[in-house]
Each structure stands twice: as structure tokens, then as C-alpha cells.
Amino acid sequence: MADSTGTRLEPIIIPTIEEMTIENFIDTFYKILEWKKFNGWKAYHDNPSKQELLEQAKFYGDDYANGAHGWASNIWSRSKNNTAVVEDNSQLDDQHKLLMRSALEYVLSPNQLIKMDGCYGQNEKVRMHARVYTDAHYPDLPMRWRELVYEADPNGKPDCTLLMLPGLWTPATMPGSGGKHPMFIIRFPEHWFTLGSVSSYQGEWKKSCLTHWIYYCYLKGGTGQHAGTRQFEIQDTGGNWKKIGGVIWGLTGSGKSAHGMYIFDKTNSKFFEDRGLPVLDIVRNQSIKNDDIVGIFEGGAFGSEKGAWTKTEDVKPDQWAIYTAGVSPRAMHENTGKGADGNPNFLDTILQYRGKPNQNARTVMYLDDMKPYFDGSIDIDFPPNLLVFISPGYTCDYAWLKIMDPYFAAATLAAGRTVGHPAQSTEGVGEPKYVPLYSPFIVGKSATNADHTHRFLDILRKYMDAGDCQTLLINTTGRIGTELVEEGGELKPKFRITSEGKKKPVGGTGPSIEETELFLMQAARDAVTWEPHPVWGERVLYPTDVPGFSAERLAELNPFNSRTEEQMRSFLHAQISQTKALFDSRIKGLDEKIYSAMDF
């Protein structure tokens, strides 16, 4: 092959479908970059500045009146059903190879990339260098991603690498889907490499890196968990100050960020003061730690990101931390509406996605913009003592429970029970879902779902042995007493479609964000009176007295007052059956005591 001057260019050999392996795919990718540089082609832009990227990205984004910028992605949720995990060459299918070869062809063509480096983890124990190469047609993505992570040496050796090509589409489909589901993403956990295509959704970048970080944390002796963290001091019922490290687990849209980043201040204190809890007097040294993925270790909970990419749908000023950082001129928005005043509108009803109102507005925000409620550290540097699982439900869930049995707690984590939300997927909205460990981001031969569950159990037992550690189960976006309808011989929650096109349960009641925060504070200060669960007994307790709540309100939040005991047992049996089906299919090798912890 020769150019117009007759000078010969040595060709790059891209492996055929038959020859393709994980190793020669990665090797060929780097060879293409070197070939381009050697022959005078621009292979990539190496860690361009935020200003350089912003100037390019402004061309297709929009500005808000407060000076912030925003963009729209081509897909408005993660593409879970379009993501494959391949641990070794024996698992490679021709469809995987088609996407891999297409990616190499795309990189070889005159498509410049952007190379960006960053570190996850502030603590050296969990600090992981990530390098991302991406399609230069989408400069907003590397710009926003870098604001979430710590600095890394661009000449250093990365611990994981991503090749993200939103401009690439191929006819590759997910193996086993009968050609119905296109393939966008392949994770190679044992090679610490991820290949992405099609989607320009920021979440694919973030979660692809964090998937590797979760594995990294396990290999470092902890367990990476899909949870947020906060820290504060509270005065207990005896007048003593307690230091609280809180970890809040939950799937997207369940309230994890709402409670993990909740701050008490003068904008919301009246609700609590009116109910006898002077929060501004008895809560001090509040600090947001981390919003999304944390490493749980014996000595503490270590954060992953220096910023937050947070769902801002329906966020109001009384959610001080998220709102304040979200309306900062520095915030960078995704799929976020604009109000009549030209500012970001978190209550927007104009934007739509796939025929329904948008329910996944997102914002990259700075924890520094949450000062004075961010102290510069994203770590809880002592064993956390308030562990909160969010499992919304509509049939047999209390508003709040306390888990006394560590095996029951491990089973709750392993089950990852929730209800579907548009931010998770466009499918199954409002329906019960079971996602192992509340996390679709666990990969790696050496860190299976069962491995992470067992590691968590070991750490939890040490937390509990050390003293004052509470494990709570809360029902946030679910309802108590939802009306039932018979379908196929079974009683199921009844739903309606609102005038805005949202799916909502009919009847019943659920705790507000403020009510749940009031409960959490009373639990943290040991002010709650508990009784054994009517079915599970001493393994799980329910609240019979929570200062600030009337007996009537607590009765409304007790499902035994809206269901018969026969119905409750039937619904609980169904939950346990679904939980064990998940254990059998997705968490093989689980300790028998965890497997049977919920039996009655």
C-alpha cells in the first residue's frame, strides 16, 4: 500500500472474526494508535483541558441562565440488556467478535480519539487509575467524567482501560437473545478492559469504570458496594454525642441519593422541630461523603469519586445538598429541562423520552459546592454504625424495620429487592425486581456475587461485635396498603397511569423523605421502641413508638393493619420464593445460613 507520493505504508492487520481473541483485540487497538502516530495521523488528544473540551461541546449543548451547561444523550438510561461480560476466550461468541472487530476498524479510520486519565478512590488503599479513550465527536463526555475523579498521571500505567465509541454502531446482538437485543458494551474483567459503543449516556462511562473498581476493592480485602455514605454526630436520649457513619444501599430511583446526601439546615428544620426534634441543636458536624459506589472494609467505608453524577428529578430546595450543588453555575447537566427563567428545572414536565415524561434528569455536581457540609474527605474512617438497605415494595413491607440477624442482613443485601424505575431501564417500571447486592456492576472470576456477600457478612459481624451498629430496612418509594387486584389467580398491586404518563400505585400511603429522615435520626439516637416482627420474630423488629409520630401514623405504616395475616404470610412466602430463585440462578454457592435466613 502506498500514499499519493508513492511512499509505502505498512498495513495494520486486524484479526478476522475467526482469529479474534481478547488479547489480540487489545493488542491490535494499541498497535493502531502507534501506527497512526508513526505515520503522522492524529491518534488521540491527550488529556485536553476542561476549557478546550467545553468550547467544542458548547456547539451541540445548551446554556442555562445561571451559567451552567447541559447536553442530551442519545439513550436516557443505562443499557443493561445490551451489556455483555466476557471473562476469557472460551466465552467469546461471533457476535462479541463482530463488535470487537468493528471497534478496531472504527479506530483505524480517520476518527480521532480523546484520551483521559483519572483516579477512583481518595484513600491509597482503593486508589485505582482509570484511562478512557473515547470518540472525539463527544467531548462533553470526557469533560464531565474527569470532573468526577481525582487526578492521575497521564503517563502512568492504568489499572483499567475503557474504549468508549458512541459513534459506532454494529449489527452485533447479545448472544442468546435470538438477535433481538443489540450489543453495545463488552466488559473484560480479567483483562481490566471495557469496550463500549452507541450510547452517549454518561452513566455508561461512570459505571463501566466503577465496575472495575468494585472488583479492585474486593481484591484489596473489602467489597465494593452500590451505596452512598454520610457522616454526622447526634445527641442520644441520654444527652451523649454519638458519631454516626451511615451507609445507604439502593437501586437508582429508590432514594439512595436523597437520604445519602440529606442535610439538616434552616430550610427544612421546621418539619422536625414541629415534631419535637430540634435537629439543628442535636445534629452537628454533618458531612456528605460519597453518593454512589463505596468500598466497605473492616476499618471504614471508602468513597470512589470526588464528585457526584446524581439524579435530580423532583429535587427541591429542602434537599439542600443536591439542590445547592445542582443549581451551581459549575454543574453540568444531562437530559435536564429549562424553566421559564432559563435556569435548570428539576421539576420539568416538558422533556419526554420514549413517549413518557422524562424521569431521569442527571447532573454532574461538585461535592465542594456542598460546603460547609463537605469537609474534603469522601471516606468514613471508622467502622460504619448505621447501615440502611432500601427495598421499596407495595404488598407486605413496613415503612421501617431493624434487622438483628447478620445472616438475614446478608440475605437482604444479596437479594437487592427493589421496584423498577425508568433510570434503571425502560422495562419493568413499577414492578418488583431483584438485583443481586443492589448492583448490576459485579464482575470477575475472583469476586462473584456470593464472594461479595460472604465478605460483607464477615465485615458486618465484626461491626456488630464492635458495639453499637444498627442495620435497618426502609421502604421509600413503595406504599403500605396499596390496593390489590387479582391477575392470573394472584393478588397484585393496582397501578394507574397519571395524566403525565407516570405509573403510580393506587391507594395506600408511604413515608415522605422527611418522615424517613425523622425515623433515621430517632433510630440513631436510640429513641425508637421495637417489637419482634409478627412472622420473623426476633430476627427482625418493627417500631411501635417513634418520637415525633402519632400512634395513628405508625399504624398506617404497618402493613398488618391493611392486610390479613394470611395475605401477609402469602406475600412474604412469594418474596422468599423469588429471593431463593435469584440465589439459585445468580448467586450460586451462597452460605446455607444466608440462603435460608428469611424462612419461617
Convert the pLDDT of each residue in 483-524 to its tens digit.
Answer: 999 998 888 999 998 877 778 899 999 999 999 999 999 999
Give the pLDDT confidence of 563-598 residue by residue, as tens digits: 999 999 999 999 999 999 999 999 999 999 999 999
User: Does 1 have pLDDT greater than 70?
Assistant: no
**447 CA to centre of own chain:** 19
Does residue 189 sit in the same domain as residue 242?
no
pTM: 0.94
Residue 534 CA to residue 550 CA, distance in Å, equals 21
In the chain, the number of structural domains is 2
Q: What is the average per-residue pLDDT within 465-475? A: 93
Does residue 440 sit in the same domain as residue 397?
yes
User: Does 103 have pLDDT greater than 50?
Assistant: yes
Last residue of a domain, one of 219, 235, 270: 219
Give the pLDDT confidence of 32-89 residue by residue, as tens digits: 999 999 999 999 999 999 999 999 999 999 999 999 999 999 999 999 999 999 999 9
Residue 82 CA to residue 79 CA, distance in Å, equals 5
> Which residue range is the domain that position 189 belongs to?
22-219
DSSP-based three-state secondary structure for 344 = strand
Q: Which helix (H) or strand (E) holds 25?
A: helix 22-38
Mean pLDDT (the chain) is: 95
In the block, cell 459549575 appears at 330
Last residue of a domain, one of 201, 219, 237: 219
Residue 535 CA to residue 207 CA, distance in Å, equals 38
Residue 3 counted as domain residue: no
Does residue 183 sit in the same domain as residue 248?
no
Q: What is the average per-residue pLDDT within 165-177? A: 96
Residue 212 CA to residue 356 CA, distance in Å, equals 33
Please report, for residues 5, 144, 178, the alpha-carbon distance to residue 454 in angstroms, rounded to integers and kept in the order given: 65, 35, 35
Residue 145 counted as domain residue: yes
Does residue 132 sit in the same domain as residue 215?
yes
Note the pLDDT of residue 6: 52
Note the pLDDT of residue 321: 94
Q: Where is pLDDT greater, at 274 or 423?
A: 274
CB atoms within 10 A of CB 446: 10
CA atoms within 13 A on the CB side of 455: 23
Does residue 250 sit in the same domain as residue 194?
no
Would you place residue 5 in the very low, low, confident or very high pLDDT band (cuts 50, 70, 90)? Answer: low
DSSP-based three-state secondary structure for 283 = strand
Per-residue HEC secondary structure of 433-476 comes to: EECHHHCCCCCCCCCCHHHHHHHHHHHHHHHHHHCCCEEEEECC
Give the pLDDT confidence of 525-564 residue by residue, as tens digits: 999 999 999 999 999 999 999 999 999 999 999 999 999 9
Does residue 192 sit in the same domain as residue 231?
no
Name beta bridge partners: 8. 2
Note the pLDDT of residue 364: 97
Name beta bridge partners: 387. 247, 471
Does residue 107 sit in the same domain as residue 185?
yes
Alpha-carbon dihedral 253, 256, 221, 154, rounded to 10 degrees = 70
Name beta bridge partners: 197. 165
Q: Where is pLDDT greater, at 386 or 433?
A: 386
Contact 255, 423 (CB under 8 A): no
Pairing mode, strands 386-390 and 400-403: unpaired
Give the pLDDT confidence of 415-449 residue by residue, as tens digits: 999 987 565 555 656 678 999 999 999 999 999 99
Last residue of a domain, one of 153, 188, 219: 219
Residue 503 counted as domain residue: no
Note the pLDDT of residue 393: 93
